[in-house]
Structure 1
Amino acid sequence: METNTLPLEKELEPIFTKQLPSFPDNIKDLFVKIAPFLAIISVVFGVLGAGLGTLLSPFAWFAGNFSYGIGMIFLIVMVVLQALAIPSLFNLKKDGWRYMYYAQFISAIYNLCMGNWFSGLIGAFIGFWILFQIREKYS
């Protein structure tokens, strides 16, 4: 991955690192240790969801749920990004953090596009706060 800043990274960074309270170092270390395992769990459930979704997709189409296909595309992209992040998260590489940032960013976009304003904003807030708090641990 390139070393350029990510979309909205410069705008979000001061909010989540300077304006909000910082996590204690032991909490940051805990998040860094469990991040690859949480990514693995997320990938497993994402693959299961995509598989089940593929199985049920004809029924969603007949029911007139056209946003279903859009949701599946977003799910697949997020699962791929999280899967790509896993090796780098174990090795504390910046690419792992970047992949998780992109996955969180896409999740926020999906939630806003689908009208999940409240839960989407809360999820994005928590996700970005954690990501920016642990960013310094990845090189």
Structure 2
Amino acid sequence: MEQQLPLEKELRDLFAKFPAFPESLVDILVTLAPWLTLLGAILGIIGLLSLLGLGAAFVGAIGVNAYGSSWKFYLGIIGGAIAAVLYLMAFSPLRANKKKGWDLLYYAFLLNMIIALLQFNILGLIIGFLIGGWILFQIRPKYV
């Protein structure tokens, strides 16, 4: 029997109650998933560099001073960096339709939900959870 990830069964059961995507849409999402993940990782890294004042050549110098230096800022920086690494690690397994790629996306999803909760970003938490989880669990059967 396949080992379940933390909260996977509970979330799978929850999102099973959502409307199912047409099979053609699921196939498109599975085809695009590695490339969208890679794009998200690259944009995330550029954004993180910009927030740290190192990415001026890409986006423009925003720097830490524009956002302040609260614990929420640093939590977002650390969480974003970890998520970007998870997305980069997921690229090859997603291209091969391996469950490891989906697992890494799932961990990034959980990480983003925890970060949103800790930052008291309730609207982001709700929207990210509902839309991200719905899509994530719609494509899950395609990864073995």
Q: Give the structure-1-normalised TM-score.
A: 0.90
Corresponding residue to 1:80 among 72, 79, 85: 85
- CA deviation profile, 1:18-59 (whole Å, cap 9, x unmatched): x111111101001101111110110111110111122223x2
Alignment partner, residue 115 of structure 1? 120
Residue 10 (structure 1) shift: 1.1
Separation in 1, partners of 2:39, 2:91: 11
For residues 33 and 64 of structure 1, what CA distance do their matches in structure 2 show? 39
Aligned to 2:18: 20
Give structure 1 stretches of 5+ with no counterpart.
none
Which segments of 5 or more consecutive residues in structure 2 lack a partner in the other structure? 54-62
User: Which of 49, 52, 61 is equivalent to 1:51?
Assistant: 49
Give, in whole Å, the separation in 2 of the partners of 1:43 and 1:106.
Answer: 14
- Runs of 4+ residues deviating >4 angstroms: none
Equivalent residues, number: 134
Report the Cα offset of residue 118 of structure 1.
1.6
Equivalent residue for 1:130?
135
Q: What is the DSSP-based 3-state SS (H/G/I as helix, E as strand, rest coil) of the residue aligned with 1:20? A: coil
Corresponding residue for residue 108 of structure 2 = 103
1:16·1:129 contact (CA, 8 Å) conserved in 2?
Answer: yes
2:34 maps to 36
- 1:92 aligned onto 2:97: yes
Q: Which has the higher contact order (CA 8 A, sep 6+)?
A: 1
- Structure 1 position 120, deviation (Å): 1.5
Deviation at 1:5, TM superposition (A): 1.4
Structure 1 distance, partners of 2:85, 2:3, is 21
1:137 maps to amino acid: K
Q: What does the per-residue CA deviation read over 1:41-85, in whole Å, with 9 as the maximum and x for residues that have no partner?
A: 10111110111122223x268x45232111110000100101000
Let me know the Cα RMSD of the aligned residues. 1.5
| Residue pair 1:74, 1:106 contacting (<8 A) in 2 also | yes
Q: Distance in 2 between matches of 1:138 and 1:74?
A: 25
Distance 1:69 1:118 in 2: 20
**Percent identity of paired positions between Structure 1 and Structure 2:** 36
